[in-house]
Every structure is written in C-alpha cells, then in structure tokens.
Chain A
Amino acid sequence: MRAPGGPEVAAGDVLLSVENVSLSFGGVKAVSDVSFDIRKGEIRAIIGPNGAGKTSMLNIINGFYHPQQGRITFQGKTRSKMRPHDAAHGGIARTFQNVALFRGMTALDNIMAGRTLKMNKNLFWQLLRYGPAMAEEVEHRHRVEEIIDFLKIQEIRRTPVGRLPYGLQKRVELGRALAMEPELLLLDEPMAGMNMEEKEDMSRFVLDVNDHYGTTIALIEHDMGVVMDLSDRVVVLDHGIKIADGTPDEVKKNKGVIDAYLGVAH
C-alpha cells in the first residue's frame, strides 16, 4: 500500500522477535505464548479487541513488564529481564495511549527532554551553562527544531503542553519519541480520540517518519481503515493469544479474526 515497489522493500532483517512470551498478573493471563517478529523498516500493527493484551505487549517490549516466560530478541541481543531505561538506551521509544507528556514543561522542553540520552555534558558545565554545555544545548536545539518543523508545531513551542488541545499533545508526544532517534518506535493508539482530519494528519506523519527517518514502527490502533492503509504486516491478538499474523489482506480474510471482531463465543 505504501512504499513504491511493493512489500519487498520493507522485508528487511528481523529487528525484534518475541518468542513464546507469557505474562500474567496474579491469576489473570494478559498474554499467553505469543510469538511474532518485527522487521527493520516496516510498519507493524498490533490489533485486537479490547483487553486483547496489546498494551501489555508494548509494555513487555520496552521493559516495563517482565514476562514470566519467553524470550525477546532485539537487534540480535536476547534478554530476559530489562529495565525501561535499558530499552531506551537500546533505541526503543514509545508514545502512550493516554498522552504521557510532561505537563508542566513547554512543548520545546518536552522534545528536548527526549534528547536526554544523547546529551552528556557534566554537572560542572551544566552549573555554568557555558562552553561545552551551551554548545551541546545549541546543537540539540537544532535537531529538535528540525522535528518541530517536521511536525509543524512551530507556533506552540513555548506553550506548556498541559494547555494544548489533545491532538497537538499527541503530536508533541510523537515529537518527543522521535527526538530519541529510535530504532524502533512503539505507538500506542496514536489516533485514539481524533477526528477524521486529525487522523489523516497523524497517518501522514507516521508514514513520513517511516519514510524519512527509516524508523521501524510498531503501532496499536483500533481504526481498521487506518491499520489496513498504514501497515505492512499485522498481528492480531485476542484474549492474550495470537490468532493471526500476516499482511493486511491476509488478516482481513482470516476467519478467526472476523469471529473475534464480530464476537463469536469461544
């Protein structure tokens, strides 16, 4: 659907693979025995009805939850237990279902905060805000301004994000994730609560990010039209179990998926 030349372009090496992962809270199984992979450069959608374990899956990938079973391999490195900041170091960024911006800070500072990991000038220079610290600050400001231009949010730079409308907050959050220059970008319902026009804008940004920066993207989305248009491959979860995996067209025809969405009793 998206890139000229068909699906071969997207079919790169495996960037992240999830193998036989299970996660439960107390007695409740959130994810059971799920395996799938994400290839470099593709847009991968994770879909499923409410409570299917999609957000839990993202939380597992970036280290917020630790699965009881299974392995996760990212960029060739397998890990069993990882802290969220390790995931960030490894190049995984994400946005949240309910916007998780730093509400007391301006849009600019939020996005600058996304560059924290790339900055390293020490406390001494920070206290003086001079020399290396200032040079670093200006250098990263340049990068952040590129992102601000890219997302067309120039005029709200200095506005505390708590005062921005929802759609713009989502955009700033995307900007903050992009500022990390991630290998893998996880988007948790980037279009939730948006109107048609905003959804189109956001879809365009997602495609552009993928195109322009070559970022691999995994996204959760409810709007089927959006998912089918955007993604290269789709994995479908229901009640924590993987029920289908393939291109949008394949998934669309899958009987299990149709049943899950139409609510056939299990």
Chain B
Amino acid sequence: MFYREAGQFKTSYASDQAVFPILQDRIGVFIILAIAFVVIPLTGNDFIINAVMIPFLVFSLAAIGLNLLTGYTGQLSLGTGAFMGVGAYACYKLTTIYPGVNIIIWVIASGFFAAAVGAVFGLPSLRIKGFYLAIATLAAQFFLEWCFIRIPWLYNYNVSAAIEVPQRELFGIIVTGPRASAETRYYIVLSIVVVMTWMASNLMHGRIGRMWMAVRDMDIAAELMGIRLLPTKLLAFAISSFYCGVSGALMVFLWYGGAESAVFNINQSFTILFMIIIGGLGSLLGSFLGAALIYILPIILRFVPPQLGIPLHAATIEHITFMTIGALIVFFLIAEPAGLARLWQIGKQKLRVWPFPY
C-alpha cells in the first residue's frame, strides 16, 4: 500500500536497468542521505558521531569489501583484518614520505597497495576453493600481521611500535590528528563511503558483477561461457582488498588516530565476516545492516541493562556479546542465509500488499 510499483512504467531499458527502478526506493535513499549529511551533524553530539557513526561507516566499508569477495564472488577470506592493515600502514608511510600531499588522496591511494597485496594472496584461488582457500587467506593474515610487528620501517621506528597519526590539513581545516573535529572527520568518512558504495553497486549491476556471481554460483559453467576464472577471481580479490584497505586507512586516520598491529588481527577478520553473514551475503544493504548490528550490539549491552537496573560487569558484557554473535550466526545460517537484507526485503513485500496478508 505504502510501497508499490504499480503504474510506474519503464519506457527504456536504461531506466529499467537503473539501480533503484522504483520511485519509493529512490525517495528512501534520498531521505537516508539527507539524514546522514544534514540531520546527524546538526543534532548528534560528539559521542554519536565519534563512537557510533564513524565506526559504523568504517566497518560498513570493510564489510562491503569482504562481501564483494565472499558474498558476490564466493571466495571465503579470513584475511580481511590484514588487508585493512595494509591500507592503514600504506597510508601512514605515504603521508610520512610526502606530507604535502592531500591526505584524502593518500587514503584512497593506500587502497591500491591493499589491492596489490590482496591480488597476490588471491593467487591460490585458481587451484583451491571453499575452506581450503579460507586457510590460504589465513596465511595472508598471519604473515602480514607479523610484518606489521617485525618491520619497524612500517611504523617509522616508533618506540611504541604503533602508528601515530600526524596532523594534516585540507583547505585550512584540520582533518586528521587529535585536533580534528568530529564533524569534519565524519563528513570525510561519509563522503568516501557513499561514493564507494555507489561504485560497488554500479559494478554489481554490470558485466563484472555478473561475472563474479557466475563464478560464485557455478564456476564450471562460467568458464565454459568464456569467463576466465583466474583474472575474474583476482579482480575480485583486488577490488575487495581495495575497499578493505581504504576502510583500514579511514579507521586509523579518521577514527582511532593511532593504532598498533593488534587492531588488524584475526579477530578483526572474523568480526567483518560475521557482519556479512548476519547482514546478508551478496548484499550491499546487508553489509550496512550487519555492521550496524555487530558494532552497535555491545554498545546497547553496555548502556541498556544499567538503565533497567541490571548492572553488568564490562567483561560480562563482552562474554554476552560473543555468545550472542555466535548464536546469531548459527540462527541466520539456519533460518535466513540471506541475512538481515532478506528480512528487509520481506518487510518491503509486506508493505507492498498491506493491509492484505499477500
């Protein structure tokens, strides 16, 4: 009733192939963007922007990256954390060596370093798949993590063995470092995430997206249709790692303000993987929903029980978070393998036929 496409006729294939062919969807996207760009900066306090919105966007971008590889191309990776790390360290080295260059350019450029590393570790995907590949990506995870610790050049020989983000300005406004305002950082993260999401969506609706999904669904048939498996998978590894790398650079430069190698450990890889399992494999919307759920769940657990008069120990909250996430993974794999994104679609379908049941 509120949501229906009846009467919206398409007169050209171009408009039929639009990413959001239905008017209500376009309005919805516009409203979300308006809230993100206008309402939140105007009404949100530093806590909302710093501790909720920026992390949510950073994780969403990493989840999109992994989803391109795992959800769309069907190649399971447990090295996401390390690829994010490559982006962060690359950005740090770039801005150290060339401090004069616009930091945003280096954030994006660091994605290319992550892409190159990702493609190298994607090479085994020619011969192996499934959990064999997952173990191969573990090699990337542990080897790169070791590099982050054992190659002091990467963190400029700091005694702390950590990255310390320097102050950088953009058009006279401080964008990184401790003195950058939350709003500025939020706008930069948001803009990058919006543009990259839009591009990922474009990619998935075109030739390359179809090639990836073909490889995921039936690799033999894809090959017999002329799709070369290795270049296709390597492209997926590269672009996925690009997204993860940019996300890692954003995480360190515009959120943490500094980081050590432990940030990019195996648990980070799992966190991102869980986001896309719960959000929905092969869904960009799912990447956002999953990131929101997994990142915000501990925050809710931290603040809601005390409000209800049940004081919880910090460690207990962490334990409950682990249990809940584990249970949610199993639940979603059983009940709705397409994740939260599918629940959203079902909800839309209900709105479409409301007030009738079907």
Residues of A whose CB lies within 8 Å of any CB of B are 62, 64, 83-85, 87-89, 93-94, 96, 100-105, 109, 112-114, 116-117, 119, 121, 123, 126-129, 133-134, 136-138, 141-142, 145, 176, 180
Are B207 and A116 in contact, with the CB atoms below 8 A? Answer: yes
CB within 8 Å: A-B pair count: 106
Expressed in whole angstroms, the Cα–Cα distance for A214 and B332 within the complex equals: 49
Q: Which of B14, B208, B210, B227 contacts A112 (CB 8 A)?
A: B210
Are A126 and B213 in contact, with the CB atoms below 8 A? Answer: no
Are A94 and B208 in contact, with the CB atoms below 8 A? Answer: no
Contacting A at CB under 8 A, from B230-289, are 235, 282
Are B225 and A116 in contact, with the CB atoms below 8 A? Answer: yes
| A64-B220, A113-B214, A141-B17 known; A126-B208 Cβ under 8 A | yes
Nearest to B338 among chain A residues (CB) is A104
Nearest to A135 among chain B residues (CB) is B14
Q: Which of B16, B202, B216, B224 contacts A84 (CB 8 A)?
A: B224
Residues of B whose CB lies within 8 Å of any CB of A are 12-14, 16-17, 19, 199, 202-203, 205-208, 210-211, 213-214, 216-218, 220-228, 235, 282
A-chain residues with CB within 8 Å of residue B211 when the two chains form the complex = 113, 116
Expressed in whole angstroms, the Cα–Cα distance for A119 and B207 within the complex equals: 7
Expressed in whole angstroms, the Cα–Cα distance for A239 and B101 within the complex equals: 71
A-chain residues with CB within 8 Å of residue B203 when the two chains form the complex = 126-127, 129
| A84-B223, A85-B228, A126-B202 known; A103-B210 Cβ under 8 A | no
Expressed in whole angstroms, the Cα–Cα distance for A121 and B207 within the complex equals: 9
Expressed in whole angstroms, the Cα–Cα distance for A176 and B218 within the complex equals: 13
Q: How far is the CB of B200 from chain A (nearest CB, A)?
A: 8
Q: Which of A94, A105, A121 contacts B217 (CB 8 A)?
A: A105
Most buried by A among B16, B220, B224, B235: B224
A-chain residues with CB within 8 Å of residue B218 when the two chains form the complex = 100-103
Are B13 and A126 in contact, with the CB atoms below 8 A? Answer: no
Are A105 and B214 in contact, with the CB atoms below 8 A? Answer: yes
Expressed in whole angstroms, the Cα–Cα distance for A203 and B214 within the complex equals: 27
A-chain residues with CB within 8 Å of residue B17 when the two chains form the complex = 134, 137-138, 141
